[in-house]
Chain A
């Protein structure tokens, strides 16, 4: 697959303006690679997560095609904008391609990484996975 066809992915959690993102060698970044997506913070060395500035999230995320919010406490887009209204600048939030993790992601998702990767592939490339419903990710409603 051509690099230009890979969707840009931003995966984050935000709390009072402080943004948490997985690092470049984390399982999230690896799964983005398996599912053919460009993770915007892949240059952050190390595993685990990092606290980054909001301006970096907006800068790198402003043209992200897909966004994943790594919490299940957000139910729809307006919940997300209540946490920080400035997230509306992210392309994926504008176009509605924003997902949250499911309630059982931390329990079952990590056991079934194959399903998670397939879910992600379906999210990143919806045209190749018509009729497939992701098991561990939920699209945020408008």
Chain B
């Protein structure tokens, strides 16, 4: 019961953070400005609220939630606290896709970037799924995933070596993640993928609990290990792929949020962890997004700076506190 109340409090906080994300920024916004914007006022303030802040804050909310969930699934499945959404090579494959698009001079449009990142990730997902359905153990899959990451990374570096310097510059800028490029038109896509992933993840709670004791134990409990494995890989990779396509590589959220959530809620039951991780991931990412664009405004820090600088001390302090209590 205590957990449910705590969860609800965090959920309300996370909704407040979205509200804060829309209100806080270089242009100070009052409640009246916000109502004006919603009523279709056409000044630049309203435009910024509706077309710059709203999409980036909502995207940070959904993106953070999805990345955190993806990290939780993979950490449990691999029984490795260092696993995260990018461990199966999705981010390297996405960067490779973008590298092909930008460095070969095909174009520079926003949707070209999103599409090429998506295409790269999908290629990696198909590869990883084929491997996941054949290998015997989680460790093999983990190592193969890491190796795939190195291969895509190497291909990307070959492209960089032979590319024009201005194109390389633009490509490098892509690799710093930010939710700033997301527009209102992108939100329905991000929202539907997120919703889909969340609803499937609910069915994984029980098999995940069994997997905490290892694949053999899960098998003896009657869990279809192969099907669960494919489902975990598919859901976590699709999450990582979509968010990476729209926002680039966002460090730390997927890795740290599951730890933070486990430490706060003191549980490893996935029926409680899955919704809590989703809400924590959303809240942390929105706060980090606000932090990164306001702390030295008008200059914007990369969001990964904020996620790491805020997230890492939280994890450290939670871990140390837990030690002291026990």
Give chain A's interface residues, CB within 8 Å of chain B. 15-20, 41, 44, 50-56, 58-59, 62, 71-74, 79, 82-86, 89, 106
Contact = CB atoms under 8 A, between A and B. Distances in A.
Interface of B: 25-27, 44, 47-48, 51-53, 56, 107-113, 166-167, 170, 173-174, 176, 178-183, 248, 293, 297-302
Contact of A85 (B113, B174, B183, B293): B183
B181 A17 contact: yes
Contact of B174 (A15, A52, A58, A62): A15
A84 B173 CA distance: 15
A62 B174 CA distance: 25
B182 to A, nearest CB: 7
Nearest to B53: A55
A101 to B, nearest CB: 10
B266 to A, nearest CB: 38
Q: From A55, A79, A106, name the one whose CB has the most chain B CB atoms within 10 angstroms.
A: A55
Residue from B25, B51, B52, B182 with most neighbouring chain A CB atoms (10 Å): B52
Nearest to B165: A106
Contacts of B170: 15, 71, 73
Given A18-B300, A58-B44, A73-B166, A83 B109 contact: yes
Given A17-B180, A55-B53, A44 B298 contact: yes
Contacts of A58: 44, 47-48, 52
Chain A interface, DSSP helix/strand/loop, else mixed: mixed
A55 B27 contact: yes
A86 B298 contact: no
A44 B298 CA distance: 8
Pick from A18, A53, A71 the residue with the most CB of B within 10 Å: A53
30 contacts: A15-B170, A15-B173, A16-B113, A16-B178, A16-B180, A17-B56, A17-B178, A17-B179, A17-B180, A17-B181, A18-B176, A41-B298, A51-B300, A52-B298, A53-B26, A53-B299, A54-B180, A55-B25, A55-B27, A56-B297, A58-B47, A62-B44, A71-B170, A72-B166, A73-B108, A73-B170, A79-B108, A83-B110, A84-B181, A86-B47
A28 B112 CA distance: 30
A122 B37 CA distance: 38
A56 B301 CA distance: 14
A73 B112 CA distance: 14
